[in-house]
Amino acid sequence: MFDRTHPRTVIARPGRRPILTRVSNAPPAGRPVLAFTLPGVAYDDDIAVQAFARHLTAAVEAGGGNGRRIVAGMRAVLEGKPDLLPDPPWSVPPATGERAVEHLAVAAGCPPDLLGRARTAARQDLARTAWLLDPADGLTELLDAAAGRARVVADPADPVTVAILDALELTERVTLVAPEDLDTLPAGSMVLIDATWAPHLARAQANGQRTVLIDRFGTGDGRPDRRTKDLRGVVPDIAAWLEGTAV
């Protein structure tokens, strides 16, 4: 539920303490903002991708089709084993494992509504198994660099955000702000990190903010200010930026 007296989301959990997660509908002010999305940035999202592929494979095989190609293609991308999928259904490698699975499912004849149901089921699986997640290498160092000098921002639109933040022990360190709520920040007052060249990343760059793209599979999407294979690779740059602009 949402506690309207205080800006916090209260999530009750039987047998465990409630989660109190701060929610803000206004952009943070007064300090440089460090913003990042969760999948592929704060944690490795392979578990969610595997669940997505599993649900789609089950649906394809239930309809008499061969779903093994979806799993083979997913492994080809996630594990870097292109020999598992010698004839992929794309000309340009997908930016994420989830997009790869989506391409494979469409090629297998899955309609959009099935994709939607499988994605929802995978997210529900992730909410139940979030305790299996480990924080991405470099996340602790990144948050330490931002401590006292920046507001950490995550996307509240993800239905499993709170479960993930709790599993990664980030609940008390993260202020949830939707990407569009950051649009009014002054130019040069934010660095935004994402694992895909999403519209909010392009919009932030157009607004004069610094952008970082974690391009795990080396697709070359977009024109970020900084491109990296993993989060750890950008921590020194971000720490230096925060040091130079903190007030």
The SS3 of residue 235 is helix
Let me know whether 141 and 229 are in one domain.
Answer: yes
* Residues 164 and 154 sit within 8 Å (Cβ to Cβ): no
Let me know whether 227 and 142 are in one domain.
Answer: yes
Let me know whether 33 and 143 are in one domain.
Answer: yes
The SS3 of residue 54 is helix
**Structural domain containing residue 105:** 46-131
Write down which residue in 131, 159, 190 finishes a domain. 131
Task: Please state, in angstroms and rounded to a whole number, the distance separating the CA atoms of residues 190 and 33.
Answer: 5
- The residue among 189 and 20 whose pLDDT is bigger is 189
Write down which residue in 131, 151, 169 finishes a domain. 131
The SS3 of residue 10 is strand
Write down which residue in 81, 106, 131 finishes a domain. 131
The pLDDT of residue 42 is above 50: yes
The pLDDT of residue 194 is above 90: yes
Task: Please state, in angstroms and rounded to a whole number, the distance separating the CA atoms of residues 29 and 95.
Answer: 32
**Mean pLDDT: which of 38-47, 159-168, 237-246 is highest?**
38-47
- For 179-188, the pLDDT digits (tens) are 777 888 888 8
Per mean pLDDT, which range of 36-45, 102-111, 119-128, 152-161 is the poorest? 152-161
Number of structural domains (the chain) is 2
Average pLDDT over residues 73-90: 89
Q: What is the mean pLDDT of the chain?
A: 83
Find the CATH number of the domain harbouring 168.
Answer: 3.40.50.1000
In a domain, 2, yes or no: no
Let me know whether 101 and 149 are in one domain.
Answer: no
Let me know whether 29 and 53 are in one domain.
Answer: no
User: Tokens at residue 125, please?
Assistant: 């699986």
